[in-house]
Structure 1
């Protein structure tokens, strides 16, 4: 097992690697560098006199990489599991088990038959996907279409790609509304932390963040019937997806097991109430 000192760390932070991971690979993994940058900024805020931890600030002292998953049997890092030692001089520690996977995008696709009046909420439906989610022990979990972000490209571009792959819909980037960006401030909150303008579905154990995009479209009523139960997804990538249409007012119940669906519903209702969508 090899180790190195994390660049620009104060106090010096030792990073212990696994045998199958090099320093360059780790420092080239965007979720790791994004996580470190965010954490180090948040730790630096403790020097402010009004910070909760100012009298006994926490410091990042070491990082132990526990395991790495590579995608496609190659050298592209998919996920990293690590343990961070974040403690103060009083020997008080913060929980530091982290599953690094980076950002994802969620898409709330709202469809309305074109035989109802425009600019109304009448008869709107939301497109959900039913697909196997082995970590949840499910072979048919109802959720908003979603996917991991690649290292390049915009959030909106990633969302448009996922919509096409999971539903077959061709959607232009400029037709997407980033509801998370409209609702959330540029920083985490009044603390000044530099968090993503997105939802963190499992912040106690993972860095994953998910901005929720909205796409609204009027379609023929027959098209709604055609899409109900349609099989989609990249079958050669192991995606076995069935489409499910639910009424907008029932999304909170039909998608109640999916954090993305609940967040999408809440953002939609809140932004609509404020006249922003």
Structure 2
């Protein structure tokens, strides 16, 4: 098993690599780079902030063991997922949970359709698709997708809306519900730890965070019926998606298994009540 050390920015971390993964691949993997940056920044706050709960006995990252990885084949082979364990010890030799799955950020979209003859009537577009990880071949959820490479979250959301929902929308027409809510009450920036304004669906073991966007579109009433049952998705990449329309007032129970749907609905309702939408 190959090993190396990360010594930059005051770190002294031993890294054990799994077979067929190189040091260069690991250090260039965006999800790993961003996770390590967030973690080291948060660790630095322990000693600089006297009110930090770990100020008297701060934790340090001692070592990383890469357990497994997945490469995505399309459009070109690249690192996609990474599983690792991190050794985090404090001055009393106490440890923090360190089993971590890295996959990077995603985006979720609350796409609302309103008939032109009654703009107050709103229908949410849901996707029905296979989610083997959940043991399901017909999982009902909001449109969503991983953020690949560079670009903005809004750009990724617009791309997924085109691929999964089937209409083109400009980035400027999307509303970042997560960021808008995060800045309520005088909140500035991302807070002391610098975490992105987003939903973190499984922070106990995964780095994924999901900014939630709002996309609203007016359509002819006759066109509403054409959305349910429509087939979409990138078929050559294994995406087989069927669309379904759900009344906005029914989204809380029709999308009750989907954290994105519940989060987006809560943000939408809160921002509406606060006059921000």
TM norm. shorter chain > 0.5: yes
1:11 Cα offset (Å): 4.9
Q: In 1, Cα distance between the equivalents of 2:96 and 2:130?
A: 34
Give a deviation string over 1:170-216, Cα, whole Å, max 9, x none. Answer: 11111111111101145554xx1110111100001100000001011
Gaps of 5+ in 2: none
The equivalent residue for 1:131 is 129
Give a deviation string over 1:114-168, Cα, whole Å, max 9, x none. Answer: 111x4xxx32110000000000000011100000001111111100110111111
Matches within 5 A, 1:85-164: 85-116=87-118, 118=119, 122-164=120-162
The equivalent residue for 1:81 is 83
The equivalent residue for 2:68 is 67
Give a deviation string over 1:69-116, Cα, whole Å, max 9, x none. Answer: 001186400000000001112121110111000000001001111111
Aligned CA-pair RMSD: 1.3
| Contact 1:3/1:14 (<8 A) preserved | yes
| TM-score where L is the length of structure 2 | 0.95
Q: In 1, Cα distance between the equivalents of 2:243 and 2:77?
A: 33
The equivalent residue for 1:181 is 179
Q: In 1, Cα distance between the equivalents of 2:210 and 2:126?
A: 16
Q: In 1, Cα distance between the equivalents of 2:45 and 2:8?
A: 16
Q: 1:259 to 1:164 in 2, by over 3 A?
A: same
* Paired residues, number: 271
Gaps of 5+ in 1: none
| TM-score where L is the length of structure 1 | 0.95
Give a deviation string over 1:35-80, Cα, whole Å, max 9, x none. Answer: 0000001001101211100111011000000001001186400000
Q: In 1, Cα distance between the equivalents of 2:17 and 2:206?
A: 19
